[in-house]
Structure 1
Amino acid sequence: MRKSRIFLYVFLFIILLGVVYFWMGKSSTKQHEAISNNQVIDEAFQLIKQEAVFSKNDKQIVEGAIRGMAQALEDPHSTYLTEEEATAHDASLAEERVGIGAEIAISDGKFIVVAPLKDSPASKAGLKPQDEIVRVNGERLNGKTLSDLVKMLSGEKGTSLKMTVYRSSEERHVELHMKRETIAMHSVSSEVYEVDGYSIGIVAISIFGEKTGEEWKTQTKALVDRGIDGLLIDVRGNPGGYLFSVSTIVSTLLENGKTFAYMQDPNGVLEMLNTESKEKPYLNKIPAVLLQNGNSASASEVLAGALKDNKRAMIVGETSYGKGTVQETHPLSNGGKLKISTHKWLTPKQEWIHHKGIQADLKVEPNELYTMDVKYPHGEFRVGDYGEEIKYAQNILAALGYNIVRRDGYFDEDTMKAVEKYREESKLESNKEIDDVFFQSLSKKISDYKDRKENDKQLQMGISYLIHGLKK
């Protein structure tokens, strides 16, 4: 009887151990729930969740892993976009968006209005260039990024927005009220430039968006109706965009059936891309020049390569950026998107221009002042001070021809003399300091300089080439 009890206790103990083991195993399974089919990824995820002193939620950890996988490709054009980033990316190529219609730049942590769009809510409300945005709907912008501000200005069509700006020209804060509206985003602009009895159509393409091909046709057909003698296509600073927009544009410049590029898949298989249009190419007989610079990339380079290899246009300016890959964007279940390079593209002569760019036929370097960005710094500075704002002023003064020895941001005696001379010649209040009025004058000087076509050496060379050919 005693032995049977011992056996019974042992048996019950073994059963109890089994139950505990089963329960612990089940609990452990729940705790270490797999997030992928890769053991190492699951192990890393669980270790981070359990051991990391800087904790993050599951979504942030997973998004970090996806971003890391994209970075492992060592391709700057392959990336992970969060749901918010994907929305912003799509909006940048869309034909319209809801907002207030203002171009805004960030300078030294301050949000400065470059210019409100014509007839936009911002323009109607009285927003002016060089206004500093300090509050939106009562919320201060201290510590905000430009992306944060864009989100604050965006919203549903018809909703109201209150904005407080500091207007340094009047030394006061101004409160503006406006309603968000649908803003049409145009990527193509055109004008006619008359010179030596010839009419040159100038068409600028800022990006290859959804409606760029349609805008191109509308603008260029209007130019043809006006009887232009030559065409100058400006893609300087154009970062690229949709390949189908390039196809539409090229099809108006080349005969049907002409090869304008090749696509090469990861296996090296080439696909020929040819022009095709239901209507007859209406620009194929008009002499053309394409302007490009070091910031002309991707789709801009497809256009340049197509025109160059088909001997359809002279390329004027600088060597292009050198992006020879095509990306596809794939939606993910978390709302984000994975953008990866899936193809190489080659010119009609089957040249891969990646990291090399497309050489200009006529190399023309722009004037130093023409390449300078318009900034809107603030502050008061005098001899002995040091800062990026002073460096900005020194660079502009030097480009304008003033005697500037130092351009490193240190306010020395030579800088003071140049400031004093500039103030005198610009009819500003006479003193030896740099202040907000001085900065505003410099910024306006750059803007006015860049607005005058005679100061654009690359454009003038392109026009001269067209005129020379027309006179033959």
Structure 2
Amino acid sequence: MRKSRLFLVGVLLLIGVIWLNGCGKEEAAKNESISKLPVVDEVFEKIQERAVYPVKKDELIEGALRGMTDTIGDPYSTYLTGQEAESHRESLAGSRVGIGAEMTRTNGKYVIVAPIKGGPAEKAGLLPYDEIVRVNGERLANETLRDVVNMIRGDKGTEVKLTIFRPEADKHMEYTITRDHMPVQSVSHQLIKERDAKLGYIALSMFGEETAKEWQKATSDVIKKGAQAIIIDLRGNPGGYLKAVSEISSSLLEEDRTFVVMQDAQGNLTPVSTEKDEKLSFNERLKQIPVVVIQDVGSASASEVLSAAIKDLKRGEIIGTTSFGKGTVQETMELSNGGELKLSTSKWLTPKEKWIHGKGVTADIEVKQHTLFTEHLQMVTDTMKEGHFNDQVAYAQRMLKAFDHRPGRTDGYFDRETAEAVQAFRAEYEIKEGYDMDREFFTALKTAAEEYRAERKNDKQLRMAVDFLVNELEK
């Protein structure tokens, strides 16, 4: 049985309510024993024999497995099917096999957000806003986004045929794309120069299998270039593996320092300390130079372990807002049917033995971001007109307000005042005149927000981190 410890925000799955602990052989349901609990066998048999809605045996069993984890009342304990388990492992892996394109589902359409640079999709010619209509000749209808992603995925070297509709060309196009390995980068970095100071900026999007190695390369690069301090950006980081947190903590803290404390179901406490990793060689300057962590409400689990350790051990300052607040640890255990059980088996405590579950790690310096940084940017393909009332209109109203165009309301009702704000935005960004929210308008909204975010001066939290470190270095 493979077990791995995860510090990751999970997804609450829809689940059933039946308990059982075995899977029989493929045969008629009548008199088939699938558990040691008679009432479970009884319910299973009656559903198979008499339910007006037919349900496959495997689906009943998987519903029961989900039901057991639901009964725990813990959103982070769940049953994963074999396919879900594989997707979960891929999310933390160093690479994934696919066509290399980010997708979304909007208004019932499956839309390409952006092909990954250098990936198979980009090389084949796919573009943002392309709508996927068919996969291998099968027309898409009411599938979930996950279903479509799974249809497109496959083994390295195999082909997938996509039929797409390109709105700009107003025509359908056929593409045959060869699947390939796509590296997953969890660490990005740059050197920031400010008032004669050099600061290493390192952003961690998750704590995956290769994160510690990527962290080693990033820190080595910025220190080699003269970085005098480090900014660690954990915003939006949902967590990941304990091992990755341990390796990164060990590079920043002295050896044998307790950076997290585990508490089992019986209440027993086990300190976990930093240690030297013989496979990774970190620059010793990392242990001495000033450190600042930037976090927000999207920083969870493993991110909170790192920020809490830095805060409790007075290794650096935390800037931003209070983090998510997930203080449990999950073990992932393989099951005989190919699925996995992800079960909360421990609480984790800060070095000062505080449990941050439901509370989060508070920032030393509270800094709230501009709305354009916190708003989830959407791709909308439909056209909205006066009188429409929906979530897409509400999104546009919030964005217009953030750009100081005064829609008057943000409840999703498209009235005359909103139309005038749309017209003013279109004029400012030199879009064809009009009062409707069409694809061109929504594209301009998204582009304008991305350009705003790209300007470092607009990032209040990063700005504060830079100013704080520069002032520290000048003392």
Aligned to 1:86: 85
Q: Does 1:302 align with 2:305?
A: yes
Separation of aligned partners in 1, 2:458 and 2:62: 48
Aligned residues: percent identity? 45
- After TM superposition, the structure 1 stretch with the greater mean CA deviation from structure 2, 163-172 or 199-208, is 163-172
Deviation at 1:242, TM superposition (A): 0.4
Q: Provide, for residues 45-71 of structure 1, a one-character-per-residue CA deviation record: whole Å limited to 9, x for no partner.
A: 233333332232222212111111111
Separation of aligned partners in 1, 2:131 and 2:354: 47
Q: Is the 8 A contact 2:426 2:441 kept in 1?
A: yes
Structure 2 portions without partners, runs of 5+? 1-27
Q: Provide, for residues 214-251 of structure 1, a one-character-per-residue CA deviation record: whole Å limited to 9, x for no partner.
A: 11111111111111011111111111110000000001
Q: Is the 8 A contact 1:326 1:345 kept in 2?
A: yes
Q: Does 1:329 align with 2:328?
A: no
Secondary structure of the 1:423 match is helix
- After TM superposition, the structure 1 stretch with the greater mean CA deviation from structure 2, 248-257 or 57-66, is 57-66
Aligned to 1:151: 150
Q: Does 1:183 align with 2:182?
A: yes
Deviation at 1:334, TM superposition (A): 1.1
Q: Is the 8 A contact 1:168 1:436 kept in 2?
A: no
Q: Against the structure 1 CA distance between its residues 169 and 442, is the aligned structure 2 distance closer, same or farther, given a 3 Å change threshold?
A: farther
AA aligned opposite 2:394: K
* Correspondence for 2:341 among 318, 338, 341: 338
Show the 5 A alignment for 1:44-443: 44-277=43-276, 278=278, 281-443=284-446
Q: TM-score, structure 1 length as denominator? A: 0.90
- After TM superposition, the structure 1 stretch with the greater mean CA deviation from structure 2, 131-140 or 294-303, is 131-140
Secondary structure of the 2:286 match is coil
Secondary structure of the 1:241 match is strand
Secondary structure of the 2:355 match is coil
AA aligned opposite 2:265: P
Q: Against the structure 1 CA distance between its residues 199 and 113, is the aligned structure 2 distance closer, same or farther, given a 3 Å change threshold?
A: farther
Deviation at 1:451, TM superposition (A): 1.8
Aligned to 1:15: none
Deviation at 1:76, TM superposition (A): 0.5
Bigger relative CO (Cα 8 Å, ≥ 6 apart):
2
Q: Is the 8 A contact 2:407 2:420 kept in 1?
A: no
Deviation at 1:30, TM superposition (A): 9.3
Q: Against the structure 1 CA distance between its residues 365 and 178, is the aligned structure 2 distance closer, same or farther, given a 3 Å change threshold?
A: same
Separation of aligned partners in 1, 2:29 and 2:273: 56
Aligned to 1:6: none
Separation of aligned partners in 2, 1:220 and 1:296: 21
Deviation at 1:383, TM superposition (A): 2.5
Q: TM-score, structure 2 length as denominator? A: 0.90
- After TM superposition, the structure 1 stretch with the greater mean CA deviation from structure 2, 139-148 or 78-87, is 139-148
Deviation at 1:282, TM superposition (A): 3.6
Separation of aligned partners in 1, 2:388 and 2:40: 53
AA aligned opposite 2:214: E
Structure that is richer in helix per residue: 1
Secondary structure of the 1:144 match is coil
Separation of aligned partners in 2, 1:322 and 1:371: 18
What's the C-alpha RMSD, in Å, of the aligned pairs?
1.8
Deviation at 1:434, TM superposition (A): 2.1
Q: Against the structure 1 CA distance between its residues 127 and 80, is the aligned structure 2 distance closer, same or farther, given a 3 Å change threshold?
A: same
Separation of aligned partners in 2, 1:184 and 1:269: 40
Q: Against the structure 1 CA distance between its residues 291 and 138, is the aligned structure 2 distance closer, same or farther, given a 3 Å change threshold?
A: same
Deviation at 1:196, TM superposition (A): 1.2
- After TM superposition, the structure 1 stretch with the greater mean CA deviation from structure 2, 383-392 or 461-470, is 383-392
AA aligned opposite 2:221: A
Q: Against the structure 1 CA distance between its residues 450 and 165, is the aligned structure 2 distance closer, same or farther, given a 3 Å change threshold?
A: farther
Show the 5 A alignment for 1:451-466: 451-466=454-469
AA aligned opposite 1:449: Y
The count of aligned residue pairs is 444
Structure 1 portions without partners, runs of 5+? 1-28
Q: Is the 8 A contact 1:202 1:234 kept in 2?
A: yes
AA aligned opposite 2:246: S
Secondary structure of the 1:354 match is coil
Separation of aligned partners in 2, 1:369 and 1:30: 56
Q: Is the 8 A contact 2:130 2:166 kept in 1?
A: yes
Q: Look at both structures and tell me which one has the larger radius of gyration over its CA atoms.
A: 1
